[in-house]
Structure 1
Amino acid sequence: MNIFLMLAPMSIFLALVGLGAFWWTMRSGQYEDPQGDAARILTTDQDDGPL
């Protein structure tokens, strides 16, 4: 029973951390252009890579 009293709050805390990370990525705009990424992989243009 003691392990349950320790693991239950820890699992709730980890779930809240994951939800917070997902919310942060939504607010920062990481999922804004999924169609552009899908089309960009099919182009034959050569770029110099990340700047």
Structure 2
Amino acid sequence: MSVIVILIITSIVVAVVFLAAFLWSVKSGQYDDTYSPSVRMLFDDKKKKTDGAESDSTVDQKV
């Protein structure tokens, strides 16, 4: 029976810690920007251009 009491107390403490972390993140502005994440996927990442000579030399080395 004492194990159940310990588990209940532990679960309440963990729940309070998660609630405090959530409230802290809300107050610090973690969830303020709701526009950028929805638009971020529309922008392509810029890819680096490789020289044609480099790609030819790598092909020669593999053969």
TM-score by length of 2: 0.63
Which is higher, the Rg of structure 1 or of structure 2?
Answer: 2
Q: How many residues are matched?
A: 46
Residue in 2 that maps onto 1:15:
15
Name stretches of at least 5 consecutive residues in structure 1 with no aligned partner.
47-51
* Seq. identity, %: 39
Offset, 1:44: 3.2
Equivalent-residue separation in structure 2 for 1:4 and 1:27 (angstroms): 34
TM-score, structure 1 as length reference? 0.75
Query: Structure 2: where are the runs of 5+ without partners?
Result: 47-63
CA shift at 1:45, angstroms? Answer: 6.3
Runs of 4+ in 1 over 4 A off after TM superposition: none
Q: What SS does structure 2 have at the residue aligned with 1:10?
A: helix
- For residues 8 and 45 of structure 1, the distance between their equivalents in structure 2, rounded to whole angstroms, comes to 49
